[in-house]
């Protein structure tokens, strides 16, 4: 057993037939599957959480298209490594062989100059780039490279998909299939996986190896107990990364600066990228504090700019100040809830026409059609307010923003009530 690769590697599929998950991309008739079966794909970025099949999908694409496959990790590769692969791609091109695929895992970790070094080869078609990232490409991939790639979003695996994966491993893996494994309870395995196939298979393998013997019965109690006992082994591959981030965010949201700084220290000591932490603080400032303290977003933005300018180790002080400030701020998710509700209304109501008085009227024809007619310019009225309708007619009186229960937003509530009276129920 010691000589075998990890279970997650042994179970890696080699074709779309055995690939589990991401049916919105590779299921029958799905967009990426059509491109693969058509025999040609553009350079792409696969964006999604860990353990959902990004690397596997890239390899399957290369196999199905019969393309040479080069694999780099942005963690330990640089411009020199990229240049060596481009040189090899040029030799392949001279032989009129198939265009190679360059897969770059964690491409968001590449610097601007490293990403720049890919542009010429991608643009000329010398290579087809497949980049994998757990971070939003809009923020982490330079615009010139982003514009040359299609972005596909991968999702956490569902409970049914994870269950199918476990059943396959027990039935088909060269090691597990020799044992009599019965899973009486799956909840702990599924919960620990968090939708991550690799994590699921790691935990399953850990349980089987620790119990030993030929007859193994798996229960929730057994799984939780063994994972706790073997936590150091379980963490060697960085599996707790997203759990610690979750605890960090929830501590700030819960207004506990002491716990928040503890989880910050855990990330710092674990070698986390300061920019990653600062980005999370930016999102939290808007999502969880919002207009309860508008200065929170400004401080988070300053923090993000500062840590990118300074780097380690001094950035730990800036991050600590910002974390404590955000954790100690009053909280409101009213803005977050408002945009959620607004998007849901848009999905349900469709493309409602803009009221005529709100339309732009740059031409004579538009004016003749009453575009902009009877629009009231707010600044021309007392208090810079004109009581007119801004919603499409069918949505009049729709409430999307409900001010939070904090002193700052209570003032907003009173101001809006003064303007709109009882229209929105403020």
pLDDT in tens, 232-262: 443 434 446 667 888 889 988 988 888 888 8
- ω into 313 cis (within 30 of 0): yes
DSSP 3-state of 74: coil
The confidence score (pLDDT) of residue 231 equals 47
- 396 and 289 both lie in a single domain: no
Strand boundaries in 115-249, DSSP class E:
128-133, 150-153, 180-183, 215-218
Q: Of 282, 301, 328, at which residue does a domain stop?
A: 328
Look at residues 278, 269, 263 and name the one whose alpha carbon lies nearest to residue 308: 278
Structurally, the chain folds into a number of domains equal to 4
Residue 64 in any domain: the answer is yes
Same domain, 212 and 277: no
Tell me what pLDDT residue 232 has. Answer: 40
Provide the pLDDT confidence category of residue 284 given band limits of 50, 70 and 90: very high
pLDDT for the residue numbered 239: 46
Tell me how far the alpha carbon of residue 256 is from its chain's centroid. Answer: 25
Q: Does residue 347 lie in a domain region? A: yes
- Tell me how far apart the alpha carbons of residues 284 and 235 are, in angstroms, rounded to a whole number: 26
* Residue 300 placed within a domain: yes
Residues 394 and 304 in one domain: no
42 lies in the same domain as 141: yes
Same domain, 25 and 85: yes
Token reading at 323 = 């974390």
Q: Which of 21, 4, 17 is nearest to 163 (CA)?
A: 21
Nearest-CA neighbor of 198 among 54, 58, 74?
54
Which residue bears the tokens 């040479």? 68
Looking at the predicted structure, is the pLDDT value of residue 338 above 70? yes
Residue 200 CB contacts under 8 Å (≥ 6 apart), including other chains: 51, 162, 165, 166, 189, 190, 192, 193
In a domain, 426, yes or no: no
CA 139/CA 290 separation, integer angstroms: 21
Which contiguous run of DSSP H or E holds residue 72?
strand 69-73
Q: Which domain holds residue 76?
A: 21-153
- The CATH number of residue 365's host domain is 1.10.3710.10
Instruction: Say if residues 79 and 111 touch (Cβ distance below 8 Å).
Output: no
In a domain, 69, yes or no: yes
Claim to verify: residue 224 and residue 246 sit in the same structural domain: no
Look up the CATH number of the domain holding residue 252.
1.20.272.10
More confident residue, 170 or 271: 170
The pLDDT value recorded for residue 323 is: 92
Q: Which of 136, 153, 170 is the last residue of a domain?
A: 153
Question: How does pLDDT run across 53-110, given as a tens digit for each residue?
Answer: 999 999 999 998 989 999 998 877 888 889 999 999 999 888 877 889 999 998 988 8
Average pLDDT over residues 271-281: 85
Where is average pLDDT lowest: 175-189, 225-239, 260-274, 340-354? 225-239
| Coil vs helix vs strand at 363 | coil
For residue 94, give the CATH number of its domain. 3.40.50.300
Residues 128 and 192 in one domain: no
DSSP strands (E only) in 367-425: none
Give the model's pLDDT for residue 151: 92
What is the distance between the alpha carbons of residues 356 and 334, in angstroms, rounded to a whole number? Answer: 30
Q: Which residue has the higher pLDDT, 30 or 244?
A: 30
Question: Measured on CA atoms in the order 73, 76, 82, 88, is the torsion positive or negative?
Answer: negative
Decide: 324 and 257 in contact? Cβ < 8 Å. Answer: yes
**Together in a domain, 224 and 250:** no
- Top mean-pLDDT range of 145-149, 308-312, 313-317: 145-149
CATH code of the domain containing 172: 1.10.8
Q: Is residue 373 part of a domain?
A: yes
pTM here? 0.58
Distance CA 136, CA 119 (A): 19
Range with lowest mean pLDDT among 9-18, 117-126, 307-316? 307-316
Residue for token pair 């600062």: 278
Task: Indicate whether 44 and 143 sit together in one domain.
Answer: yes
Sign of the CA dihedral with 209 first, then 212, 215, and 221 last:
negative
What confidence tier does 351 reach under pLDDT thresholds 50, 70, 90?
Answer: confident
Q: What count of residues does the chain have?
A: 426
44 and 112 part of one domain: yes
Q: Identify which has the larger pLDDT, 410 or 319.
A: 319
- Mean pLDDT, range 147-152, rounded to an integer: 91
* Overall average pLDDT of the 134-155 stretch: 88
Last-in-domain residue among 180, 212, 235: 235
In the predicted model, what is the mean pLDDT of the chain?
85
């Amino acid at each position: 057993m010691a000589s075998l690769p990890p279970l997650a590697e042994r179970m890696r599929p080699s074709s779309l037939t055995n690939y589990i998950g991401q049916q919105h991309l590779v299921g029958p008739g799905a967009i990426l599957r059509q491109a693969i079966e058509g025999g040609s794909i553009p350079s792409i970025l696969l964006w999604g959480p860990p353990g959902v099949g990004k690397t596997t999908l890239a390899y399957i694409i290369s196999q199905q298209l019969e393309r040479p496959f080069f694999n780099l990790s942005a963690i330990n590769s640089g411009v020199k490594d990229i240049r060596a692969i481009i040189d090899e791609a040029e030799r392949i091109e001279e032989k009129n062989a198939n265009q190679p695929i360059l897969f770059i895992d964690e491409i968001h970790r590449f610097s601007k100059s490293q990403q720049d070094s890919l542009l010429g080869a991608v643009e000329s078609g010398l290579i087809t780039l497949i980049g994998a990232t757990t971070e939003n490409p809009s923020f982490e991939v330079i615009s010139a490279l982003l514009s040359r790639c299609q972005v596909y979003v991968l999702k956490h695996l569902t409970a049914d998909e994870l269950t199918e994966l476990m059943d396959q491993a027990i039935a088909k893996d060269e090691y597990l299939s020799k044992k009599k494994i019965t899973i009486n309870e799956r909840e702990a395995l599924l919960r620990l996986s968090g939708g991550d196939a690799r994590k699921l298979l790691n935990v399953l393998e850990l349980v089987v190896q620790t119990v030993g013997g030929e007859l193994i019965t798996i229960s929730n109690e057994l799984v939780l107990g063994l994972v706790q006992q073997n936590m150091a082994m379980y963490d060697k591959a960085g599996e707790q990364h997203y759990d610690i981030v979750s605890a960090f965010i929830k501590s700030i949201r819960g207004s506990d600066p002491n716990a928040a700084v503890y989880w910050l220290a855990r990330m710092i000591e674990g070698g986390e990228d300061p920019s990653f932490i600062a980005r999370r603080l930016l999102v939290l400032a808007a999502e969880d504090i919002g207009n309860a303290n508008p200065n929170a977003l400004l401080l988070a933005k300053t923090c993000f700019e500062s840590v990118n300018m300074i780097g380690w180790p001094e950035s730990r002080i800036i991050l600590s100040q910002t974390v404590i400030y955000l954790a100690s701020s009053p909280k409101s998710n009213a803005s977050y809830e408002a945009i959620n509700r607004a998007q849901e209304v848009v999905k349900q109501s469709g493309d409602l026409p803009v009221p005529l008085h709100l339309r732009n009227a740059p031409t004579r024809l538009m004016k003749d059609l009453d575009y902009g007619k009877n629009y009231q310019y707010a600044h021309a009225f007392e208090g810079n307010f004109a009581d007119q309708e801004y919603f499409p007619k069918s949505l009049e009186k729709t409430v999307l923003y409900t001010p939070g229960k904090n002193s700052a937003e209570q003032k907003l509530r009173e101001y809006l009530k003064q303007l709109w009276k009882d229209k929105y129920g403020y």
